Amino acid sequence: MSPQSYAPEEFTAFFELAAAHGDIVERVADILEWEEEPGAAVTVVQGLAAQFGYLPLSVGGVFDVDTGELLRPIDEATFDRYVAAAEGFAERHRPRFLGLGVEIDTQWRTHPDEFDRFVELFAAVADAVHGASPETLVFTTFQLERFSGLQGGIFGGTNDPSQVSWELIERFPDADIIGFTTYPGLVFASPDDIPEDYYRRLGDLAGGRPIAFTEMGWQAGGDFGPYSGTPAAQDRFVERFGELTAGADVAFFVWSFLFDQAVPEPFDTMGLIAADGTPRPGWERWGGS
């Protein structure tokens, strides 16, 4: 959900534009938004889906995606509350897809002592959701570049193949889909530098399950030396993504922002449309006009 602004006209225009040129509008938020508190943004996204004709996608988080710090300790009462929130949401909305956990390798890397609790929570949530809405496909997400040992480039570290973490996927046998976020422009200077098997290999690593991309993008600006973005590079990545996923079992993919958002760089230029409303070449290739 990335409108040009939250002024009523531009907020509505976002949903019209997103639905006309795509299929999904995604909301990522604290899992407790699934309790349907009045005014919660996830309720807005769900409620407008029928009006505008898109598929609403909700991903619930339990920790800060930057630090891995839990939003609140997952004690027994909180554990039960999270499961009940997921079960109730699934029963009310019967979503096609439902995600729990955003880039969960961050928590594994920064707070490994708490990761086992998340694994337990995911299993309980998946069981509850499948019971309430058997057709709903449940997933969790990993950050593909870091997950692959690629922490150089804009990440500021080094690329180290020995740091791959594929074994974490095996901790989630109840997941129907394995999700990833992917921002290859952080570690590759050009879309053409991305290996041919970069995305197609993921199906085997996911145990034959479908894969999904809950966030994807390439920066269109910023001064990062060889990793500086341009509209042309972003456009090429839109094209290249189709080439690199051809033949893969991809359940869905979501570009991170329709309009540029006021977020830290380089993510502030990930939009297919600039903050002032100017479309970038990648928007036309994506299917916009």
Burial class (CB in 10 A: 0-12, 13-18, 19+), 209: buried
What the chain holds in terms of domains, given with CATH numbers, is 8-286 (3.20.20.80)
Residues 61-90: pLDDT tens digits?
999 998 999 999 999 999 999 999 999 999
Q: Is the pLDDT of residue 42 over 90?
A: no
Please name every residue paired with 131 in a beta bridge, in sequence order, or none if there are none.
Answer: none
Distance, in Å, from the CA atom of 214 to the CA atom of 44, rounded to the nearest integer, reads 19
Model's pTM, two decimal places?
0.96
pLDDT of residue 135: 98
CB 86 within 8 A of CB 34: yes
pLDDT in tens, 109-128: 999 999 999 999 999 999 99
Query: Of 133, 142, 198, 130, nearest to 170 (Cα)?
Result: 142
State residue 289's pLDDT score. 59
Confidence of residue 39 (pLDDT cuts 50, 70, 90): low
Strand partners, 211: 178, 250
Q: Are 153 and 186 in contact (CB under 8 A)?
A: yes
**Burial class of residue 99 in the structure, from the number of CB atoms within 10 Å of its CB (0-12 exposed, 13-18 middle, 19+ buried):** buried
pLDDT tens per residue across span 168-213: 999 999 999 999 999 999 999 999 999 999 999 999 999 999 999 9
Cα separation, 140 vs 100, whole angstroms: 5
